[in-house]
Amino acid sequence: MRKNQLWAGIASPIIALSGIAVAIIINRSWWSLTDNAISDLGKVGLPHSWVMNVPLLISAILAIYYALGLLKEMKNPVSKLGVLVFILGLFFLAGIAIFPEGTGPHYEVSWGFFLAGSIGFLIAGVGIGFEGDKKFGIFTVIVFTIEAVLTKWAFNTFRGVAIAEFIGILTIAIWHYTLLWNMFFK
């Protein structure tokens, strides 16, 4: 992997989460973690929707660039398939910024990001386990299971979906940074 791809992978989640955080601060008078979706912060017609949507798009582009380098690092077809599904999820992430809430395909691209991102990291992590890093494979299955349980709980507990979305985002970020650490910094 090229060094700039590695840096893109390090920066990508930070950029997305920073944009979301600033959008929450700007819209704190009406936005609620328990009653809204994260996408409400970037919806069509909102005066500062770009504050969230632009960082999401930049993050997606950087993450795709990183994941293409990651794809070259994978040694077996299972982990390669997982990274390809993960990359599909990153294209859906770009779609969230390009098709914000209030446009036709927003709902589909949002679900696409969470599903493809999570299923992609599950397949990739299991594939890495098959490649010999059994601890990382087990870690991946555990993290995915925790994500699924907590997300289901959040959907059933809160009126809005932001908490479920944050569970998904943070799980993907934890898996991503753990993978980075194991592959490139350990």
Domain range holding 99? 3-185
Region for 32 from its dihedrals, namely left if φ exceeds 0, alpha if ψ lies in -120 to 50, beta otherwise: beta
Q: Does residue 168 have a pLDDT over 80?
A: yes
Q: Are 17 and 88 in contact (CB under 8 A)?
A: no
Q: Are 162 and 33 in contact (CB under 8 A)?
A: yes
Q: Which token pair is 145?
A: 């299971």
Q: Tens of pLDDT along 12-44?
A: 999 999 999 999 999 999 999 999 999 999 999
Q: Are 59 and 19 in contact (CB under 8 A)?
A: yes
User: Residue 103, CB half-sphere, CA atoms under 13 Å: how many?
Assistant: 17
What one-letter code names the amino acid at 163? I
Radius of gyration from C-alpha coordinates of the chain: 16
Q: Tens of pLDDT along 78-116?
A: 999 999 999 999 999 999 999 999 999 999 999 999 999
Q: Are 126 and 144 in contact (CB under 8 A)?
A: no
Q: Which DSSP letter does residue 36 get?
A: S
Q: Please give the backbone phi and psi of residue 2, each rounded to the nearest 5 degrees, phi first.
A: -70, 150
Domain count, the chain: 1
